[in-house]
Amino acid sequence: MPASKRPSISITAASVLILLILAALACDSWTAVGDASTQLPPAGGGQQDTPAPADWFSLYFSDPTGPGARSLRGGPDAHLAQALEGARLSVDVAAYDLDLWSLRDALIAAQRRGVRVRMVTESDNLQTDEIQQLKEAGIEVLGDRREGLMHNKFMVIDRLEVWTGSMNFTVNGAYRNDNNLLRIRSSRLAEDYIAEFEEMFVEDRFGPGSPANTPNPALTIEGTPLEIFFSPDDETLSHLVEQVENARQSIYFLAFSFTSDPLADALIESWQAGVQVAGVLEEAQVETNFGGDYDRLRQTGVDVRLDGNLDSMHHKVLIIDERIVVTGSYNFSNSAETRNDENTLIIHNAQLAAAYLAEFQRIYNQSK
């Protein structure tokens, strides 16, 4: 589509109100979007109905500019710690890093009341004080002991509840960086994450040595289709490219690291076909990454910006046609695709997409 026919960046007051209502229904902790005059639009014909509230998920965003960021209290970790307090059978933790005392205390308390607590982590972070304190409390912790990263950030509680997203279980992750933390209640999804966890913890298989054996790679929760991919065994990139290629109206993305040429190619092709494409990248990564795609996206004409957070914009999110959300630990990079242990969710839910779109709008408004 010629540039002159592209959707203009404007939005009506009614559309802003709908976006805010949907986001409020979808998440428990979020930051309001800015002045309506700077809002990105729903691309022409975008979804604007209001789904009923769901009880199978909760969504939390860090708020680096809020009062909690100064007190280091009441962030997304507080909700996860509360869930851990209710654990009765088991907690499996796959954490790139952990230094939040709220989670340390909740995990140790669970261990002491007889809950089976297990953890895998990135070996480079094994010496963190809080991880050492978990080990001293009798919690078995396994490092990956290899060059690639154990980059997951997920917990499974009582084989029923999965917590995942971009947020490392750290002070920076919960209070200084822009992040998302998503809770999903589903025994079938939990089965997927437990299978991945046990490949690492029980079988000691990390990275390229991890087999592609997810029990439920596609499932439906209360009418919402989900797809689950673990890297590097599930070739996650091909599924992300497919989602981008199938977009018809809009693609918004938030990327801590973006060095994936095939994904950049797909975004450029969608933009050239008339799909509205806009993204925000972490500035420090753009300045230091070798082979980054920021310049190429920008020079092609894609609306891509640098973030305004003095710390890190740490999301790894795609929002497609205001109906599909991609989230998880997977940076848009070759390392995430071929070397690191990662998890990615593709969720087809307009209510959840609206909440992520509100977060995108907040970060886009602060970008440069």
299-318 confidence digits (pLDDT tens): 999 999 999 999 999 999 99
CA distance 187 to 160: 4
Q: What is the pLDDT of residues 119-163, one digit of tens each?
A: 999 999 999 999 999 999 999 999 999 999 999 999 999 999 999
pLDDT, position 40:
55
Task: Single out the catalytic residue among 77, 97, 234, 321.
Answer: 321
pLDDT, position 29:
44
pLDDT, position 67:
83
Give catalytic status of residue 314 as yes or no. yes
Cα 227 → chain centroid: 14
Q: Quick check: 164 and 195 in contact, CB under 8 A?
A: no
Burial class (CB in 10 A: 0-12, 13-18, 19+), 180: buried
Q: What is the pLDDT of residues 357-368, one digit of tens each?
A: 999 999 999 999
pLDDT above 70 covers a percentage of the chain that reads 85
Domains and CATH numbers, the chain: 3-365 (3.30.870.10)
Give catalytic status of residue 158 as yes or no. no
Q: Quick check: 221 and 55 in contact, CB under 8 A?
A: no
pLDDT, position 35:
32
Residue 49 scores a pLDDT above 90: no
Q: Quick check: 158 and 183 in contact, CB under 8 A?
A: no
Task: Single out the catalytic residue among 151, 314, 315, 348.
Answer: 314
Q: What is the pLDDT of residues 71-96, one digit of tens each?
A: 999 999 999 999 999 999 999 999 99
Reported as a pLDDT band with limits 50, 70 and 90, residue 66 is confident
Mean pLDDT of the chain: 88
Strands lying side by side in the sheet with 90-95: 57-61, 180-185, 161-165, 153-157, 90-95, 116-121, 140-143
Torsion of CA 26, 331, 362, 189, to 10 degrees: 0
pLDDT, position 41:
46
Measured between its terminal Cα atoms, the distance across the chain in Å is 26
The residue among 44 and 110 whose pLDDT is bigger is 110
| Of 30-34, 44-48, 243-247, the least confident | 30-34
Residue 257 scores a pLDDT above 50: yes
pLDDT, position 75:
96
Task: Single out the catalytic residue among 79, 316, 341, 348.
Answer: 316
pLDDT, position 290:
73
Give catalytic status of residue 233 as yes or no. no
